[in-house]
Structure 1
Amino acid sequence: MGKLDGKVAVITGASGSIGKASCEVFAREGATVVGVDVREGDTVVDHFFACDLTDEPAVKNMYSDIVETTGKIDILFNNAGIAVSEDQSVLDTEMTVWQQVIDVNLTSVFLCCKYGIPHLIENGGGSVVNTASLVATVGSAASQIAYTASKGGVLAMSRELGVELAKKNIRVNAVSPGPVETPLLAGLFDQEEKERRLVHVPRGRFGAPHEIAEAVAFLASDAASYINATDFKVDGGIHSAYVTALEG
């Protein structure tokens, strides 16, 4: 039996690398998978909903439509997010770039929690996993100020919701990936910028999307029933490293 048998999971950012891998892992573990993104990609899901997750009425209606289609919701994986090359130092980042990143990375998670969690409560409980980032807790001299601030907000919001909603049988956790080998990262960093980050990774490589997806599936499952309001880092050990080994 899969650890998500009988569960209905809503995964946002389903057309991206981590979202797509998560849809595959959740399906393997027995969940009915509902994928959400602004446009449909090649992700294999049981149901797909196109939605601009920064649009409050659209998000509210989407969750109602999902319940009408599936009968319930057990799991929210709020994973949609962006990173843009124009997001740099606070000294250089334009207000329009700041607002775009905050809207997609933080406001959308707020809206998905605001309108998704009531359906979990109605169903007797459930699990919420929000995608934060290693940079929510570790500063970087190669700054992406809006991205960092947005993910810090996701992390803080996840802690607060986990504490607030625990007695309603709702668990809320954040997953904080380190750098993950995706087309988004490849388009964001040139080779020099990539090497500048890679040197600090004890594992000697960036993560793979499926490695993040496996961690999320665990957090979403009943196997993690006493894990709540936690920052679950999946970063190859970066957050614990002062310097990395020369060999090995």
Structure 2
Amino acid sequence: MRKTIVAGNWKMNGTTESNKALLENLTAGLNAVDGLVTLVCPPAVYLAQVKQQLGNAPVAVGAQNVSAQPKGAFTGEWSLAMLQDLGCEYVIIGHSERRSIFGETDNQVAEKVAATLDAKLIPVLCVGETLEEREAGETINVVSNQVEAVLARVGIAALANAVIAYEPVWAIGTGLTATPQQAQDVHKAIRAQLAASDDSVAENMSILYGGSMNAVNAAELLAQQDIDGGLIGGASLKADEFLTICAAAADSRK
């Protein structure tokens, strides 16, 4: 049975003190559940603090981005070796904000995924369409092309060690959310795309929903057959909301 993953993307938020309080509240209310992965992805400057504070708590730590380069003259970047050194297990790659604001291309995303897999870390590959693309009926084509760019680079076997997050760009930070059926349709299409190459990889792939999942809508979204968790933005900064989503994810496995 594939894993259910609830990943908190803190984005560019947090301070030493607020992180401490958030993690204290999170770990106090979190119960370990077989097959459920709880993940937090703080800004890179706080990775060491978060990893140290979590200790043996059942919470994994991930980065929000990484360079595909191993080392060298890349001011402002950080490498996979650095993330390994800090005990990171996951890396968010190709988030819509990286694509739209920082201009990351499908090929650059694919290179980052390849490097992350080579480093034995788990990439969380983000894919999704803009509102304009959805209204033009291009959602499945856009998402399929983003997935295909990575498949062409690493192959289906390697992708078995990755996670995919579908994040409709129009539903991030806007308060808008795809309906459970809209989200399910895209998740199902992604799984079918993978199954065309390997049924086993497709069946075992955790595909997360990343479009403004929150404490109110989590249970209904997670009840969908092909939604295996969430990539959570704003709600991950509030321990009570994040814990409610984690509880809904645990219930979805029963």
TM-score class, shorter: 0.3 to 0.5
Length-normalised TM-score, structure 2: 0.39
Length-normalised TM-score, structure 1: 0.39
